[in-house]
């Protein structure tokens, strides 16, 4: 039996209403998926910048640890790692937007010495200021 007799002469194909409904369903699925992907890319960039900031702070801490001889007077004197001075030039070219690295000492005469390295930068995607701090305690050798 021919198909045209089963469904009638003009019943083959999709109607405009069926195409519009299927398009609306596809858009309803595609838009949230694209939004999830966009949020994933933003979070990935934020995590990448945070990892770079952690590495930069660790690099400053390791360079402080390498001061020879390792005495607190040698670390805190103005030529080495003074408080309130931007030290981002010591790690090479800046990898983050508006990156600045500062070192603070809780009590320069205490043993062990509490050292805090703070990295400030600005996000690329969502332009906002971010801060990360690493703290450690070092003792004189």
Domain contains 6: no
Domain contains 58: yes
The residue count for the chain: 141
SS3 assignment for 4-63: HHHHCCCCCCCCHHHHHHHHHHHHHHHHHHHHHHHHHHHHHHHHHHHHHHHHHHHHHHHH
Question: Does the pLDDT of residue 112 top 60, yes or no?
Answer: yes
Residue 50 sits at φ, ψ, to 5 deg, of -65, -40
Domain contains 102: yes
Question: Does the pLDDT of residue 11 top 70, yes or no?
Answer: no
Domain contains 2: no
Residue 75's alpha-carbon distances to 60, 69, 72, 87, 102, in angstroms, are: 12, 9, 5, 13, 14
Domain contains 8: no
> 89-107, pLDDT tens digit by residue?
888 887 899 999 999 988 7
Domain contains 7: no
Question: Does the pLDDT of residue 23 top 60, yes or no?
Answer: yes
Instruction: Give the per-residue pLDDT at 3.
Output: 56
Domain ranges, residue 114: 15-138
Domain contains 57: yes
**pLDDT band for position 64 (50/70/90)?**
confident
Count of domains observed in the chain: 1
Domain contains 65: yes
């Amino acid at each position: 039996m021919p198909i045209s007799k089963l469904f009638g002469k003009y019943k083959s194909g999709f109607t405009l209403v069926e195409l519009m409904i299927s398009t609306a369903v596809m858009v309803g699925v595609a838009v949230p998926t694209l939004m999830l992907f966009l949020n994933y890319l933003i979070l990935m960039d934020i995590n990448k910048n945070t990892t770079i900031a952690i590495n930069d702070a660790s690099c400053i801490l390791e360079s402080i640890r390498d001061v020879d001889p390792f005495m607190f007077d040698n670390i805190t004197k103005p030529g080495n790692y003074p408080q309130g001075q931007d030290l981002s030039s010591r790690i090479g070219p800046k990898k983050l937007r508006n990156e600045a690295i500062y070192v603070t000492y809780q009590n320069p005469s205490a043993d062990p010495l509490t050292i805090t390295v703070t990295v400030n930068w600005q996000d690329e995607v969502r332009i906002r200021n971010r801060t990360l701090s690493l703290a450690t305690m070092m003792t004189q050798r």
